[in-house]
Structure 1
Amino acid sequence: MNDKKLVSDLLTKSLEDLNNKTKDLSQLELVYQPKNGGWSIINCLEHMAVTEKFLLNAIRETIKARSVMPNLNLSKNDASILIKIGDRANKVESSKEFCPSIDNKNRTHLDFLDEIESNRQETINEFNSTQVDLRKKAMPFAFWDKVDLHQMFLVIGSHMVRHTLQIESVLNEIKTN
């Protein structure tokens, strides 16, 4: 499988999986607070909406502002990015700007799903339409000194996988109670 197809499939499939897991949930399921103190499902949806928009904007800014690095080759890190971002055993504390906010308390899960869908379509469009060699531009990113922009699209897809798994965990906890 080529690099471009991997990213494209990840971006598409992760959104499909999220929609399949969340579109028909009840209000009780959406707001259930896990016993471990983690986020509710609606909190996860809010987080995904905010985070993807931020990451896509960071990619766009890097495309505009950073120069091409012809000798850059970070592709050896692709697998570790997919694993580390998607791995729920690796707990990560989100920065405040990506955490659920009281400002969104009146929004529904369908509002967040619409925003996530819109963000994802923008992400896919940016990935498919950019003329820049994404492997030759880089930016700093948590866990790695820097990642290339191709890898940032892997991060976006893996981030959704991570939180879809979190949602599944919450739903499994609800079923056992």
Structure 2
Amino acid sequence: MVLHAETLLQDLIERTRKHINEAEKFKSLPTETLNWRVANDSWSILECFEHLNLYGDFYIPELKKRMESSKTQPKENFKSGVLGNYFAKSMLPKEKLNKMKTFKDKNPIGSTLDKTTMNRFIAQQEKILNLLDKSRAVDLNKIKTAISISKLIKLRIGDTFRVVVYHNERHILQANNVLNSKMPAPKQLN
């Protein structure tokens, strides 16, 4: 898959801005709503966002480090790698979200969370916006980044940005599904 580099970056920037707007909407909800789960083994809204924060803790420094150490010049087009394209496409939400196994260190289930989780997510997205803007000055094809599941596998930085942003989109949809499920009214104390 070949894309005009600026078109790709603009798409990722727009998606990231939408993610920030979604997170801002969630912040207005009561903490009780944000911590509610459909089932004991499913994630709450805050757990969806904490999962994204845990991935952001890996990818944001990785992206920044690789870009800062690069001496490449930007290219007009980005050509996705086979593995990178596969990972990116697998992250995109589908009509019915396919379940994926989460690594234990990225599974927030049972964490004690509050609205600071949302603030952290928004701050991370601001950093991603900054990195996407700075990536206009580098070759999205030549710079390689490690991925969270193995430091031995490297993806083109353009694919890594796609994976991160699409992964965010996937779990924001999951958080919206939690919100849209029929949450019981809080019990009133007599």
TM-score (norm 2): 0.72
Q: CA deviation at 1:132?
A: 2.3
Segments of 4+ moved more than 3 angstroms:
61-68, 75-83, 139-142
User: Aligned AA for 2:42?
Assistant: G
Q: Report which of the two has the higher share of helix.
A: 1
Query: Matches of residues 156-167 of structure 1 in structure 2 within 5 Å?
Result: 156-167=164-175
Greater CA drift, 43-52 or 28-37: 28-37
**What is the correspondence of 1:33-52 to structure 2 with a 5 Å cutoff?**
33-35=37-39, 37-52=41-56
How far 1:50 moved relative to its partner? 1.9
Letter matched to residue 96 of structure 1: K
Question: Which position in structure 1 is the counterpart of 2:60?
Answer: 56
1:137 — aligned with what?
Answer: 143
Please tell me the root mean square deviation across aligned C-alpha atoms, in Å: 3.3
Structure 2 CA distance for aligned equivalents of residues 172 and 5 of structure 1: 30
In the alignment, structure 1 residue 171 sits paired with structure 2 residue 179: yes
Residues 136 and 148, structure 1, Cα contact 8 Å, conserved in 2: yes
Residue 114 of structure 2 is matched in structure 1 by 108
Equivalent residues in 2 for 1:62-101, closer than 5 Å: 62-63=66-67, 73-74=79-80, 81-87=87-93, 89-100=97-108
For 1:140 and 1:49, the matched residues in 2 are separated by 17
Please name the residue that 2:18 is paired with.
Answer: 13
* Structure label with greater radius of gyration: 2
Unpaired runs of 5+ in structure 1? none
Q: What SS class does the counterpart of residue 147 from structure 1 fall into?
A: strand
Q: Which residue of 1 aligns with 2:160?
A: 152
- Structure 1 length as normaliser, TM-score? 0.76
Task: Tell me by how many angstroms 1:87 deviates.
Answer: 2.3
Gaps of 5+ in 2: 1-5, 186-190
